[in-house]
């Protein structure tokens, strides 16, 4: 099944077919294209243009000044750190989940697949809220730290001594980000691995390869584009998440502000040029994501058609 | 199912390694990151009495926010279904310069951070924005003109209609973020449409309109509905882009996720959690529905 | 050399380093419009503290709607000090989680309010709508910008000032409620913080009049020029007392009690009061700063929350709690 991912490689490559022979009358074509172009212009091109236009409104100097601010730099650093933890974590999960779902049959498989999709359907605000409920000072974690007679007193003492903070600190931001980007890699890999079947793996095992070797040399090369695809989507969302992170961040400047939160702060400081300058960096990231995505789709279709012509 | 696949099923269960490890890790990770935190929302609100819970999730202000969130999400998803279909059609069926670029751009709402989308859309559609500065006076002039033509109707309420900072702003933001879903679910189905079907319809004397409504649209329906449901689910939970452009008036332009935040900011954890539970149940139901829809649509296309 | 002795040396070096010149970090959790004030004040305090003790203090800032900020601290945001818009939000730190003692307000001079402010109107240049006083805001067709009192401290002052004006002029709470309801019908955008509202009014060009902190109105005037905006002073307004306190539970844990207290006390020093005045807050204690900035602040009749509403606890309960008057005026 191709769950609620926007696009899945498995699906996308099906449409390499190109235009068909039957054509609508010219006026239908013109009408369709006009409507489509207007829609794209108003909802896609214009917002993108607005970001860059507003960012450069006061010239290139003001644009670059936005990045001289140490708070902006630390926001960029935090965003990169968060993505650097969240994406690999979800990558490992995605591979493990798709391995057991695509290669094995077991009871409750479809429930598991649905549960993996769950974070897609949950509002980002709720994603943040639930972590506050678990880890906040008034939440389970806080209650544990303040408990008079806790379970495992040694653990409580250790946690207090370490002063290990989750909410309003980097771990909370990372956790909320992992939640929000949870299904991305898994959702890409499951249909891909299902479609590919396991014959090559059996062959490798029969030839004497062990489990890891089979995975590294047989499975991984087959799924590498899907993997990469999932990773860049996951990364784009991880760097851009606003709602969930806003709930758990605490908005300490230079410490727990990610780039999207920094945009909000600048926006609220009459500093529109800087807000849009940081935004333009994020928009640039989005564009790079789109380019990479198109490139992978192209690679994938090409390797498929190569394979098809070989066999 | 053929004999050989049955055999290989029994066979691979034994042969392929890593089942225990991968399933164990998957379940543990899922439990720690998703299920336990989500259960916190339900456990927290289970401490409330039914009266308290009812008062929290069904006060007039909360009801108004459901109405807005569900209503506008529905509207935005419908608009996306319509325009998304046309866009997908154009992208698959027509060749024109820049097709690849537009095709790639369709995913922009997915890749662009919602906060950036929010301030960009505000910069465009606010009364002094790129588009708003032209549209709002034009609208007011249009309404005034109509008022002169048809004086019997009370036009005053329409006069001050704004794009940003009103319900229209919520609509714009939700349409933006839901845009890729319909296009991406319908696109592959259009690509796989059998040209023979259309040819046959034409030979049997159907005109283009009849072919479209009687042959092509029914074929696309499962995908369209799936895309619609996905866009709807996404719109329902959206927060980042909406708060910048909505105006956020209680009873009027306040979406449910914002209300959760507002409750949270008044230390009303129980109220926030209760509303969150309602939203969560709605999302679960939607998710199940989407899965069923996709199963249906796959079966539909296999037959 | 054994590994353990290496550790010992490292530890000794580390403690020696700390003893020589400490690097201290404080977190000041504040409300929306104080960004510029505390950016300046933190610099001044860091210089003062380094001169006095040799230690380097970095003060981190966090800003947002006052109620929201209090909530974050209650949930565990490690604020050494809070400098919030109103005493009611600081009270919440005692009520939820006992982060501070009940008598926190007695610990610093002037009820822990080092500066005061009031509520004024910001209108567009030339005052095209002819706004003079509170009752002009409830006239049909006037568009009013104010933040959401549920989340913004400033908005609560706004709301209460309008209420008290109506109660005095029209007589009685019922009349006041009707007045406030009419007024809020004129509000097209309710932002969650004061700063969001300023942006809406100033940048987005929405609304005819913005009910604003006095300091925020002056700041907008300074940033965008008097050719764009004017300040209108109503006949009656509220004495707004933003309050500050050390968060005992946090400083005890972090060991920053001394410097956090000194930080807040410095707000009452001549320099602190002068910085407040410079950022359009009314200095509360220094006669010198009061005299220096007297000319910039308009004369206005002010009432206090205590005399009109019996204090914050009462005002919050009657007006801003769930089902309070603010919810009632939006009920159909």
* Terminal C-alpha separation, chain A: 26
Residue C250 or B211, more confident: C250
Number of domains in chain B: 1
For the record, the structure tokens of B133 come out as 């500065």
Range(s) of chain C covered by CATH 3.40.190.10: 3-116+241-296, 119-239+304-329
C33 Cβ contact list (under 8 Å, min separation 6): C154, C194, C195, C198, C213, C215, C216, C219
Contact B102 A40 (CB under 8 A): yes
Residue B7 domain flag: no
pLDDT band at A2 (very low <50, low <70, confident <90, very high): very low
Instruction: Work out the average pLDDT over C286-307.
Output: 92
The yes-or-no verdict on residue A228 having pLDDT over 80 is: yes
pLDDT at C75: 84
Question: What is the second-level CATH architecture of the domain C3-116+241-296?
Answer: 3-Layer(aba) Sandwich (3.40)
pLDDT at C13: 45
pLDDT at B161: 67
Measured between CA atoms, the residue of chain A closest to residue C220 is A270
Q: Is C64 on the interface with A (CB under 8 A)?
A: yes
Q: Is C97 on the interface with A (CB under 8 A)?
A: yes
Task: Please provide residue C229's backbone torsions phi and psi, each rounded to the nearest 5 degrees.
Answer: -135, 160
* Lowest-confidence segment of A69-83, B153-167, B219-233, C249-263 by average pLDDT: B153-167
Residue B22 domain flag: no
Residue B265 domain flag: yes
Percent of chain B with pLDDT over 90: 37
Provide the shortest C-alpha distance from residue C285 to chain B (in Å).
Answer: 32
Residue B151 or A29, more confident: A29
The yes-or-no verdict on residue B128 having pLDDT over 60 is: yes
DSSP H or E segment with residue B14: helix B3-15
Asked if residues C193 and C64 have their Cβ atoms less than 8 Å apart, the reply is yes
Q: Which of B24, B29, B94, B113 to mutate to test the interface with A (most CBs of A within 10 A)?
A: B113
CB contacts, 8 Å: B243 with chain C: 192
Coil, strand or helix at B162: coil
pLDDT at A12: 55
Provide the shortest C-alpha distance from residue C221 to chain A (in Å).
Answer: 12
Residue C3 or B288, more confident: B288
Residue B284 domain flag: yes
The yes-or-no verdict on residue C313 having pLDDT over 80 is: yes
The yes-or-no verdict on residue A3 having pLDDT over 50 is: no
The yes-or-no verdict on residue C160 having pLDDT over 90 is: yes
Whole-number Å distance between alpha carbons of C145 and C127: 15
Highest average pLDDT, of B7-16, B123-132, B186-195, C171-180, comes from: C171-180
Contact B249 C190 (CB under 8 A): yes
B201 is in which domain, residue-wise?
Answer: 50-126+163-302
pTM comes to 0.83
Provide the shortest C-alpha distance from residue C34 to chain A (in Å).
Answer: 11
Whole-number Å distance between alpha carbons of C264 and B28: 47
Measured between CA atoms, the residue of chain B closest to residue A198 is B12
Nearest-CB residue to B16 (from A36, A198, A282) = A198
Percent of chain A with pLDDT over 90: 41
Provide the shortest C-alpha distance from residue C196 to chain B (in Å).
Answer: 9
Nearest-CB residue to C76 (from A136, A252, A255) = A136
Q: Is C253 on the interface with A (CB under 8 A)?
A: yes
CB contacts, 8 Å: C198 with chain A: 270
3-state helix, strand, coil in chain C (%, to 5): 55, 15, 30
Task: Please provide residue C226's backbone torsions phi and psi, each rounded to the nearest 5 degrees.
Answer: -70, -10
Q: Please name the residue that has the structure tokens 């243009």.
A: A49
The yes-or-no verdict on residue C16 having pLDDT over 50 is: no
Distance of CA C100 to the CA centre of its chain: 19
Whole-number Å distance between alpha carbons of B47 and B40: 11
> Which chains does chain C touch, 3 or more C-beta pairs < 8 A?
A, B
DSSP type of residue C332? -
> Which chains does chain B touch, 3 or more C-beta pairs < 8 A?
A, C
CB contacts, 8 Å: C253 with chain A: 163
CB contacts, 8 Å: A291 with chain B: 104
A198 Cβ contact list (under 8 Å, min separation 6): A103, B8, B12, B16
Asked if residues A262 and A77 have their Cβ atoms less than 8 Å apart, the reply is no
pLDDT at C279: 94
Asked if residues B125 and C205 have their Cβ atoms less than 8 Å apart, the reply is no
CATH (residue range C119-239+304-329): 3.40.190.10
pLDDT at A18: 45
**Span A18-34, pLDDT tens digits:** 444 456 678 888 888 99
pLDDT at C55: 92
Asked if residues C116 and C281 have their Cβ atoms less than 8 Å apart, the reply is yes
CATH code at B84? 1.10.3720.10
The yes-or-no verdict on residue A11 having pLDDT over 70 is: no
Asked if residues C49 and C264 have their Cβ atoms less than 8 Å apart, the reply is no
Instruction: Work out the average pLDDT over A296-300.
Output: 85
Residue B279 or B207, more confident: B279
Contact C60 A138 (CB under 8 A): no
Nearest-CB residue to B265 (from C68, C189, C190) = C68
ipTM: 0.84
Mean pLDDT score of chain A, rounded to an integer? 86
Q: How far lies C3's CA from each of B23, C7, C9, C10, C169, in Å?
A: 42, 6, 10, 11, 80
Residues C77-87 as b or e (16 or more Cβ within 10 Å = b): bbbbbbbbbbb
Q: Which of C188, C208, C320 to mutate to test the interface with B (most CBs of B within 10 A)?
A: C188
Q: Which of B157, B250, B272 to mutate to test the interface with C (most CBs of C within 10 A)?
A: B250
Residue B32 domain flag: no
Whole-number Å distance between alpha carbons of C56 and C48: 10
The yes-or-no verdict on residue B147 having pLDDT over 60 is: yes
The yes-or-no verdict on residue B192 having pLDDT over 90 is: no
Residues 72-111 of B with CB under 8 A from A: 83, 86-87, 89-96, 100, 102-111
Whole-number Å distance between alpha carbons of C286 and C259: 22
CB contacts, 8 Å: B262 with chain C: 148, 150-151, 192
Whole-number Å distance between alpha carbons of B226 and C101: 56
CB contacts, 8 Å: A168 with chain C: 72, 75-78
Mean pLDDT score of chain B, rounded to an integer? 85
**Span A141-171, pLDDT tens digits:** 888 888 888 888 888 888 888 778 888 899 9
Residue B1 domain flag: no
Q: Please name the residue that has the structure tokens 């702060």.
A: A265
The yes-or-no verdict on residue C101 having pLDDT over 70 is: yes
Contact B115 A99 (CB under 8 A): no
CB contacts, 8 Å: C85 with chain B: none
Concatenated DSSP letters of C213-241: EHHHHHHHHHHH-TTTEEEE--SEEE-B-
Contact C77 A168 (CB under 8 A): yes
For the record, the structure tokens of A90 come out as 């979800």
pLDDT band at C331 (very low <50, low <70, confident <90, very high): confident
Nearest-CB residue to A138 (from B115, B193, B269) = B269
3-state secondary structure chain A: CCCCCCCCHHHHHHHCCCCCCCCCCHHHHHHHHHHHHHHHHHHHHHHHHHHHHHHCCCHHHHHHHCCCCHHHHHHHHHHHHHHHHHHHHHHHHHHHHHHHHHHCCCCCHHHHHHHHHHHHHCCHHHHHHHHHHHHCCCCHHHHHHHCCCCCCHHHHHHHHHHCCCCCCCHHHHHHHHHHHCCCHHHHHHHHHHHHHCCHHHHHHHHCCCCHHHHHHHHHHHHHHHHHHHHHHHHHHHHHHCCHHHHHHHCCCCCCCCCHHHHHHHHHCCCCHHHHHHHHHHHHHHHHHHHHHHHHHHHHHHHHHHHHHHHC
Contact C72 A251 (CB under 8 A): yes
pLDDT at A72: 92
Residue B17 domain flag: no
The yes-or-no verdict on residue C15 having pLDDT over 50 is: no
Asked if residues A165 and A73 have their Cβ atoms less than 8 Å apart, the reply is no
For the record, the structure tokens of B10 come out as 């029994």
Residue B29 domain flag: no
């Amino acid at each position: 099944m191709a769950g609620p991912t926007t696009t899945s490689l498995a699906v996308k490559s099906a449409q390499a077919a190109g235009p068909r022979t039957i054509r609508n009358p010219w006026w239908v074509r013109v009408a369709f294209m006009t409507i489509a172009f207007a829609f794209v212009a108003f909802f896609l091109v214009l917002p993108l243009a607005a970001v860059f236009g507003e960012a450069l409104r006061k010239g290139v100097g003001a644009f670059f000044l936005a990045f001289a601010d140490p708070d902006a730099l630390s926001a960029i650093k935090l965003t990169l750190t968060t993505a650097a933890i969240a994406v690999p974590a979800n990558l490992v999960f995605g591979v493990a989940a798709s391995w057991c779902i695509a290669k094995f049959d077991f009871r409750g498989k479809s429930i598991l697949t649905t549960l993996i999709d769950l974070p897609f359907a949950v509002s980002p605000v709720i994603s943040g809220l639930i972590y506050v409920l678990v880890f906040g000072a008034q939440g389970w974690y806080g209650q544990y730290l303040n408990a008079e007679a806790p379970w495992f007193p040694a653990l409580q003492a250790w946690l207090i001594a370490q002063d290990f903070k989750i909410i309003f600190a980097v771990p909370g931001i990372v956790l909320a980000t992992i939640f929000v980007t949870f299904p991305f890699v898994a959702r890409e890999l499951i249909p891909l691995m299902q479609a590919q079947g396991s014959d090559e793996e059996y062959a490798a095992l029969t030839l004497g390869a062990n489990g890891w070797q089979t995975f590294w040399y047989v499975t991984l090369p087959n799924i590498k584009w899907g993997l990469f695809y999932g990773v860049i989507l996951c990364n784009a969302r991880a760097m851009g998440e606003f709602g969930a992170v806003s709930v758990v961040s605490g908005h300490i400047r230079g410490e727990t502000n990610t780039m999207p939160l920094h945009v909000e702060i600048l926006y609220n400081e009459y500093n529109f040029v800087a807000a849009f300058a940081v935004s333009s960096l994020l928009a640039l990231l989005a564009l790079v994501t789109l380019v990479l995505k198109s490139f992978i789709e192209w690679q994938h279709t090409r390797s498929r058609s190569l394979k098809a012509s070989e066999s | 199912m053929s004999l050989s696949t049955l055999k290989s099923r029994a066979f691979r269960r034994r042969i392929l390694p890593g089942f225990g490890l991968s399933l164990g890790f998957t379940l543990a990770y899922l439990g720690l990151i998703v299920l336990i935190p989500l259960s916190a929302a339900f456990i927290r609100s289970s401490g409330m009495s039914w009266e308290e819970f009812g008062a929290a999730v069904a006060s007039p202000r909360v009801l108004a926010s459901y109405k807005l969130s569900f209503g506008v999400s529905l509207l935005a998803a419908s608009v996306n279904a319509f325009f998304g279909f046309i866009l997908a059609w154009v992208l698959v069926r027509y060749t024109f310069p820049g097709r690849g670029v537009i095709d790639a751009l369709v995913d922009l709402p997915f890749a662009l951070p919602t906060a950036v989308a929010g301030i960009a859309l505000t910069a465009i559609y606010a009364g002094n924005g790129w588009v708003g500065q032209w549209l709002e006076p034009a609208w007011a002039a249009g309404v005034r003109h109509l008022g002169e033509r048809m004086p019997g109707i009370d036009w005053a309420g329409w006069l001050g209609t704004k794009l940003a900072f009103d319900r229209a702003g919520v609509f714009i933001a939700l349409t933006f973020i839901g845009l890729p879903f319909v296009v991406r679910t319908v696109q592959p189905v259009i690509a796989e449409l059998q040209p023979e079907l259309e040819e046959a319809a034409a030979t049997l004397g159907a005109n283009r309109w009849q072919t479209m409504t009687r042959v092509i649209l029914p074929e696309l329906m499962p995908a369209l509905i799936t895309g619609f449901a996905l866009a709807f689910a996404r719109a329902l939970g959206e927060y980042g882009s909406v708060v910048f452009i909505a105006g956020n008036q209680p009873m009027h332009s306040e979406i449910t996720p914002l209300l959760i935040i507002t409750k949270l900011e008044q230390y009303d954890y129980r109220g926030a959690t209760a509303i969150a539970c309602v939203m969560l149940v709605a999302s679960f139901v939607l998710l199940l529905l989407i899965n069923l829809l996709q199963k249906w649509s796959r079966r539909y296309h296999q037959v | 050399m054994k590994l353990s002795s290496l550790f010992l040396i490292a530890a000794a070096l580390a403690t020696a380093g700390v003893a020589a010149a400490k690097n201290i970090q404080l977190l000041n959790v504040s409300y929306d419009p104080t960004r510029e004030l505390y950016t300046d004040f933190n610099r001044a305090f860091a210089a003062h503290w380094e001169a006095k003790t040799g230690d380097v203090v970095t003060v981190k800032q966090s800003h947002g709607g006052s109620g929201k900020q209090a909530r974050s601290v209650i949930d565990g945001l490690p604020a050494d000090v809070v400098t919030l818009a109103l005493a009611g939000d600081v009270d919440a730190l005692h009520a939820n989680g006992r982060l501070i003692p009940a008598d926190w307000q007695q610990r610093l001079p002037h009820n822990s309010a080092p500066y005061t402010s009031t509520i004024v109107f910001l209108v567009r240049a030339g005052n095209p709508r002819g706004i003079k006083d509170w009752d002009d805001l409830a006239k049909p067709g006037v568009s009013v910008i104010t933040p959401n009192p549920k989340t913004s401290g400033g908005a609560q002052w706004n709301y209460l000032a309008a209420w008290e004006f109506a109660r005095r002029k029209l007589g009685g709470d019922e009349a006041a409620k009707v007045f406030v309801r009419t007024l809020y019908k004129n509000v097209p955008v309710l932002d969650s913080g004061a700063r969001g509202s300023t942006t809406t009014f100033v940048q987005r060009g929405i609304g005819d009049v913005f009910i604003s902190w006095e300091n925020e109105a002056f700041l907008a005037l300074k940033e965008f020029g008097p050719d764009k905006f004017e300040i209108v002073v109503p006949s009656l307004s509220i004495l707004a007392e933003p309050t500050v306190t050390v968060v005992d539970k946090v400083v005890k844990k972090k060991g920053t009690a001394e410097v956090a207290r000194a930080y807040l006390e410095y707000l009452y020093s001549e320099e602190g009061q002068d910085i407040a005045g410079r950022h359009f807050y009314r200095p509360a204690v220094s006669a010198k700063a009061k005299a220096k900035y007297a000319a910039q602040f308009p004369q206005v009749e002010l009432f206090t929350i205590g005399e009109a509403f019996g204090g914050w606890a009462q005002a919050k309960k009657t007006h801003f709690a769930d089902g309070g008057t603010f919810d009632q005026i939006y009920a159909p």
